[in-house]
Amino acid sequence: MMSIHPTAIVEEGAQLGDGCVIHAHALVTRHSVLGEGVVVHPFAVVGGDPQYLKFDATIATGVRIGAGTVVREHVTINRSIHAGQATVVGARCLLMACSHAGHDCILGDDVVLANNVMLAGHVEVGAHTFVGGGAGIHQFCRIGEGAMVAGLARITKDVAPFLMVAERDEVPGFNLVGLKRRGFPRAALLEIKAAYSHVFSGGDPRPLAASLLPEVQSAAARRFLGFFAGGKRGFARPAGPAAADE
């Protein structure tokens, strides 16, 4: 059964799935679509207008949140600035207290934003990614699947899947512990390790990734290499050539 606290505000037109829980003093605007079992804690605002000076508040835009996601206290999730489009948060995500997802962000499934994370507009965060407390992500950045972003990091470039990143776009290595916890087979881990070393061996990672892509077998390694074909911000990378044993 759905549960809405008497002091919460759920505007007419909002769509809530079965089992949603809206706690005291939370606001779910009419622009919001919540999947089954979404929990919104006190003082969170889901579907608020974007922080964009040229925004036309009369256009129809929205926010979509996947099933089982938990939105903690004082979280803000802004709606899209583009007519007919939505800011998207995937299933089973955890947005901890005071984190912010700006307009037109896209978060995959099982993403965790720790306290006070700041996602600017148009940021993409891949599935199974953890973003540490107080981290700030520049607009239009992409954070790939399974990445680990350190607390208080400042991210101004794209972060490829399965990487660890800290400080200002610094890459200490790839997220081997996270991959093992997700049960990636050894063959895939070896291919990702080799791909990581190849792409960051020096020079532009785009042609390096493209040259290796036909040779890899695992889907995970193909996703890692394929990431370098897109983006607008350049790529976070190790300070020097990536060592094969990282």
**Which band of pLDDT confidence, cut at 50, 70 and 90, is reported for residue 1?**
confident
Phi, psi of 217 (to 5 degrees): -105, -35
Among residues 79, 78, 117, 80, the alpha carbon closest in space to that of 95 is found at 117
Among residues 41, 74, 100, 103, which one is catalytic?
Answer: 103
Per-residue pLDDT band at 243 (split at 50, 70, 90)? low
| Residue 165 buriedness (CB in 10 A; 0-12 / 13-18 / 19+) | buried
- Could you say which of 104, 110, 158, 169 is catalytic? 104
Residue 1: HSE in the Cβ half-sphere, 13 Å Cα cutoff = 3
Q: 245 pLDDT exceeds 50?
A: no
Catalytic residue among 62, 102, 121, 146: 121
Buried residues in 140-164 as b, exposed as e (16+ CB within 10 A): bbbbbbbbbbbeebbbebbbbbbbb
pLDDT at 66 over 50: yes
Per-residue tokens: 30: 């009419």
Over range 84-108, report the average pLDDT: 98
Kindly report, residue by residue over 206-232, the tens digit of the pLDDT.
999 999 999 999 999 999 999 999 998
Asked whether the predicted pLDDT for residue 246 surpasses 50, the reply is no
Residue 39 has pLDDT above 70, yes or no: yes
The 10s digit of each residue's pLDDT in 121-145 is 999 999 999 999 999 999 999 999 9
Higher pLDDT: 203 or 81? It is 81
Most distant CA atoms of the chain, gap in Å: 59
113: pLDDT strictly greater than 90: yes
Percent of the chain clearing pLDDT 90 (strictly above): 95
Ordered alpha helix ranges (H), the chain: 176-181, 186-199, 205-212, 219-226
Cα dihedral across residues 17, 112, 217, 214: positive or negative: positive
Domain 3-122 is classified in which CATH homologous superfamily? Hexapeptide repeat proteins (2.160.10.10)
Whole-number average pLDDT of the chain = 96
Domain ranges in the chain are 3-122, 178-229
104 part of the active site: yes
- pTM as predicted: 0.96
